[in-house]
Structure 1
Amino acid sequence: MKLEQLLSPDCTVCAVPGTSKKGVLQQISRIAANAFKNATEKELLNALVAREKLSSTGIGKGIAIPHGRLLDHQQIIAVLITTEKPVSFDAIDDQPVDIFFALFVPEDHCQQHLQTLAAIAAFLGDKGNAKRIRKCQSSEQLFKMATGQQD
């Protein structure tokens, strides 16, 4: 699945305030719940926290891909945020994180979940993309960059 099929402007937010891992996960859950009325903030947060308990989704170089599975949902929800300041996130390289691409997938879409995570990891793993994301000054600019609509 292509990123432009996943992201929406209302789920792409630049310079989100956050000082803790839990705070960032709450922000992500709030953004997703506001955009997708069929999922509650609490349900979304619980899915992210459950996954983080297994191991951190901080993949290194200031990037995290928090993700969770949702019961009784058929829609994939994606949220891309940057934070005002990097946040300690227990990443594999012990570096703080400032780019978060969160994904919520239906419980029964395992194969699609893995393919989507791989696409997100490949996109964020490109040093040029991460650098361009960090240079974004607005949510609109971040959305356009992530979906390949930049001038």
Structure 2
Amino acid sequence: MELADILAERAVLFCTGVKTKRQLFEELSTRASEISGLDTSDILGAITSREELGSTGLGNGIAIPHGKVVGLKSVMAMFARLDQPIEFDAVDDQPVDLVVLLLAPVGAGADHLKALSKVARLLRTESVVSLLRYNDDPAELHAILTAPDEATNAA
């Protein structure tokens, strides 16, 4: 599974003015609803419920909130780069400014896990993180995230 298969260009956001995790989740849920056609509250409920089990803040300013949503047909991703880091209860207690939201259909265990693994691996690449962190153009952010592995490894 490639990120290009699940991350539409319109699912990449540069967010300004987001101050809290809740506000971020609402923004992402609204955009995911527009893209998927599913109800915003169902998406928000799925990611909020998962977050209550434990923070999806991985450290180094990165978070991968995720959830399973009834009615979703396939795994989808969204990316948000925040203009100002926000408190996220991350494992390293550092604020978060790079967020990949993953949504999966209920019962999509293997695909969901493959997507999580792919995103986590990509965001462990310091050169990629650096490119993401210092760019605010959604089209360029999408290109960075969906570049073939060889291109991101050479970055």
Write the distance in 2 (CA, Å) between the matches of 1:74 and 1:137: 30
- How large is the RMSD of aligned CA atoms in angstroms? 1.3
Q: 1:7 corresponds to which residue?
A: 7
**How high is the TM-score relative to the length of structure 1?**
0.94
Structure 1 pair 15–72 and aligned structure 2 pair: CA distance change class (3 A):
closer
Q: 1:84 corresponds to which residue?
A: 83
Please report how far the alpha carbon of residue 74 of structure 1 lies from its aligned counterpart in structure 2 after TM superposition: 1.8
Higher mean C-alpha displacement, 91-100 vs 70-79? 70-79
Structure 2: runs of 5 or more not aligned = none
Q: 1:25 corresponds to which residue?
A: 25
SS of residue paired to 2:10: helix
Write the distance in 1 (CA, Å) between the matches of 2:72 and 2:133: 32
Verify: 1:46 aligned to 2:73, yes or no: no
Write the distance in 2 (CA, Å) between the matches of 1:17 and 1:2: 31
Q: How many residues align?
A: 149
**How high is the TM-score relative to the length of structure 2?**
0.92
Write the distance in 2 (CA, Å) between the matches of 1:90 and 1:2: 29
The ranges of structure 1 where at least 4 consecutive aligned residues each deviate by more than 2 angstroms after the TM superposition are none
Percent identity (aligned): 29
Q: 1:72 corresponds to which residue?
A: 71
